[in-house]
């Protein structure tokens, strides 16, 4: 088993990324190294675009977390995740809001699974 690295790209700068694919790749590699050194998500600037590439630290394939894509950001949820613990300590109201969103998404996914598996039995 290997490691996985999640990368979030803000599409507003997609044209710039395409104009300079070498710099784009180099920025991602730099972000991977930086995120792994800091053990938290980093925001990478690209030319005059600030923070348009988010890079999570690499995690082992057996490591389990939930990524919440909401509010124009991606937030990792997990009891031992440095960013999540920091959010819980620093802004518990937002952490509660994100957790409620994650629970609603899981509840909706469970409903879909139940509905789809019921169709198979018919």
The pTM of this model reads: 0.87
pLDDT, tens only, 38-51: 999 999 999 999 98
How high is the pLDDT of residue 72?
86
Using the structure block, give the residue that is written with the tokens 């139940």.
114
Do the Cβ atoms of 80 and 65 come closer than 8 Å?
A: no
- Integer Cα distance of 120 and 20 in angstroms: 48
Measured CA to CA in angstroms, residue 47 lies from 16, 17, 58, 74 at distances of: 8, 9, 24, 22
pLDDT, tens only, 69-87: 998 889 999 999 999 999 9
pLDDT, tens only, 90-108: 999 999 999 999 999 999 9
Q: How confident is the model at residue 122 (pLDDT cuts 50, 70, 90)?
A: low
The residue ranges of every structural domain in the chain are 1-61, 64-122
pLDDT, tens only, 4-58: 999 999 999 999 999 999 999 999 999 999 999 999 999 999 999 998 999 999 9
Tokens standing for residue 25: 């790749």
Give me the sign of the Cα torsion angle 39, 65, 46, 73: negative
């Amino acid at each position: 088993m290997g490691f996985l690295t999640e990368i979030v790209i803000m599409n507003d700068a997609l044209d710039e990324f395409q104009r300079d694919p070498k710099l784009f790749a180099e920025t991602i590699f730099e972000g991977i190294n930086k995120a792994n050194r800091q053990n938290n998500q980093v925001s990478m600037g690209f030319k005059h675009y600030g923070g348009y590439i988010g890079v999570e630290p690499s995690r082992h394939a057996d490591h389990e977390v939930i990524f919440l894509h909401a509010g124009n950001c991606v937030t990792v949820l997990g009891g031992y995740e440095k960013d999540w613990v920091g959010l819980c300590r620093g802004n518990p109201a937002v952490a509660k809001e994100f957790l409620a969103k994650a629970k609603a998404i899981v509840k909706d996914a469970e409903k879909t699974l139940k509905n789809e598996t019921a169709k198979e039995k018919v």
